[in-house]
Amino acid sequence: MSILLVGVSHHSAPVSLLEAVAVSEVDRDALTEELIAGEHIDEAMIVTTCNRVEVYSAAKAFHPALDDVVALLSRHSGMAIDELSRHLYIRYSEAAAEHLFSVASGLDSMVVGEQQIIGQIRTAYQSASEIGAAGTTLHRLAQQALHVGKRVHTETGIDSAGASVVSVALDRAAEILDATGLDPAGSAADGPVAGRHLDGRRAVVLGAGAMGGLAVAHLGRGGISHIDVTNRTAERAERLSEIARDAGTPAAAFPLEELARAVARADILFTCTGAVGTVVTLGDVHTALAGRGELGHLVICDLGMPRDVDPAVAGLPGVTVLGIEALKEDPATSGAAAESDAARTIVDAELTAYTQAERMAEVGPLIGKLRGRGGQVVAAEMRRLEARLPEMDDKVRDEVANTVRRVVDKLLHPPTVKVKELAARSDGEDFAAVVSTLFDLDSIVDEEAS
């Protein structure tokens, strides 16, 4: 049984599509049961977060199972299959396991290293188990993914990787603003003000996800005087601004269509929406600059992947755009990259161990058939012997049977051990097929049934 993954996330789809495909806890069980009720999927587990929906299934056949999952997501979201399919990613077998291990490690999150996803995977597995949708295949996959995630967070500094990118971006923004020679009120200063950081500055945060939350926290600690928050979903923007106010930083939410007006009053625009296309246009920034008066320089921290800000904005006078590329040379972010590399090394090692164990488990039935073939040979020869020597007493018969059985076991032991070893290789299926052919193992079921 092979694992099939069909997913959609912030990497592949705009926020509007993610909202359409989103699966609530109430819907998850019903959708999972619908999948396993079909003839192509034996097990299913749905991992759902605010930024992803991923369906993991134990598929009998790739294409029929894929059609079932895509059709389910299409019905659930109300989207046409052709439209939805453009934003889906598909992984199979080892690639599906590798993806889940990366997700559990925080390597695929908007904020690299976030730990919340481990709990979400655990919840998805427990939910599938409770309704009988998670069997042996998904049990081994989920347990291994949770183990990998825990190991990565324990053995590396991945937890701070995403936060360090936000911190470095805002530190760099403060340095640029200080270097302009203008104080927060817009009047000329004698030079950079050491230690001022973000005191008296205003910021706009576009995006109320995990990265936006980190930005709000760092801005507050840096002494920002006010934060305006916007998001495609107004409720999430209001919630994030409320969190900022609870932490002691003046903040307010505003509609996304008023972005240019808010930026006109700000020193920093921090953006990380997870959207696929451009969110901040050249026209938005032109309008904002026209309304700034004497406010001075504008620093835009664009941490979207792909980027949220039109590249042409970087050419405007009085504007500095800091993107992921511009932050890679900073020692702090290179340290974060090193932690990500360390996490990736753990994922790769664990994936190798997992796939080897899975391949060895797959030859279990074949080894059972091989031993069954040996048992057939022993039984057949004993029947012939008893037919020739009907006067043979029980003690002698038992001794002969044990001797024949030991001979067969010794003959089958080397191929049994070897097929287990070879099964761990990527071409292990080829060796298993050779053993099955040499010993005619496919006929065992037929013979037993006849």
Does 210 appear as a known binding residue?
Answer: yes
Does 120 appear as a known binding residue?
Answer: yes
Give the separation between CA 51 and CA 22, rounded to whole angstroms: 9
> Would you state the pLDDT for residue 449?
40
Does 109 appear as a known binding residue?
Answer: yes
* 343 contacts: CB under 8 Å, gap ≥ 6: 105, 106, 107, 113, 152, 156, 158
CA dist 297 → 205, 206, 265, 429 (Å)? 17, 19, 11, 63
Does 49 appear as a known binding residue?
Answer: yes
Instruction: Identify the residue whose tokens are 């057939």.
Output: 376
Q: Dig out the tokens for 340 from the structure.
A: 């990500």
Does 392 appear as a known binding residue?
Answer: no
CA quadruple 298, 251, 199, 292: dihedral positive or negative? positive
Q: Which residues of the chain fall below pLDDT 70?
A: 1, 110-111, 161-163, 181-196, 274, 276, 305-306, 325, 328-336, 362-364, 423-432, 444-450
Does 423 appear as a known binding residue?
Answer: no
Does 211 appear as a known binding residue?
Answer: yes
Does 376 appear as a known binding residue?
Answer: no
With 0-12 CB in 10 A as exposed, 13-18 as middle and 19+ as buried, what is 149? buried
Edge-to-edge order in the sheet of strand 298-302? 251-253, 226-230, 202-206, 268-271, 298-302, 319-323
> Would you state the pLDDT for residue 185?
44
CB 23 within 8 A of CB 52: no
> Would you state the pLDDT for residue 321?
93
Radius of gyration of the chain (CA): 31
The DSSP result for 258-322, as a single string, is GHHHHHTT-SEEEE----SS--B-HHHHHHHHHT-TT---EEEEE--SS-SB-GGGGGSTTEEEE
Predicted TM-score (pTM) of the model is 0.65
Q: Dig out the tokens for 341 from the structure.
A: 């590399």
CB 107 within 8 A of CB 347: yes
With 0-12 CB in 10 A as exposed, 13-18 as middle and 19+ as buried, what is 277? exposed
* Of 77, 15, 11, nearest in space to 256 by CA: 15
* 234 contacts: CB under 8 Å, gap ≥ 6: 253, 255
* 189 contacts: CB under 8 Å, gap ≥ 6: 181, 182, 183
Give the separation between CA 121 and CA 298, rounded to whole angstroms: 40
Give the separation between CA 338 and CA 328, rounded to whole angstroms: 11
Told to judge if 272 belongs to the known catalytic residues of this protein, a careful annotator would answer no
Q: Dig out the tokens for 177 from the structure.
A: 């603003």
Q: Dig out the tokens for 87 from the structure.
A: 């934003």
CB atoms within 10 A of CB 66: 19
For 304-326, letters b (16+ CB in 10 Å) and e give beebbbbeebbebeebbbbbbeb
CB 163 within 8 A of CB 114: no
CB 211 within 8 A of CB 235: no
End-to-end CA distance of the chain: 27
* Of 248, 261, 251, 192, nearest in space to 227 by CA: 251
Does 209 appear as a known binding residue?
Answer: yes
pLDDT digits (tens, 9 = 90+) for 32-76: 999 999 999 999 999 998 779 999 999 989 999 999 999 999 999
Give the separation between CA 414 and CA 412, rounded to whole angstroms: 6
Which residue among the candidates 23, 50, 203, 264 is catalytic per the annotation? Answer: 50
CB 232 within 8 A of CB 253: no
Does 212 appear as a known binding residue?
Answer: yes
Give the separation between CA 391 and CA 188, rounded to whole angstroms: 117
Q: Which domains does the chain have, with CATH numbers?
A: 2-155+339-359 (3.30.460.30), 161-327 (3.40.50.720), 363-449 (no CATH)
CB atoms within 10 A of CB 338: 13
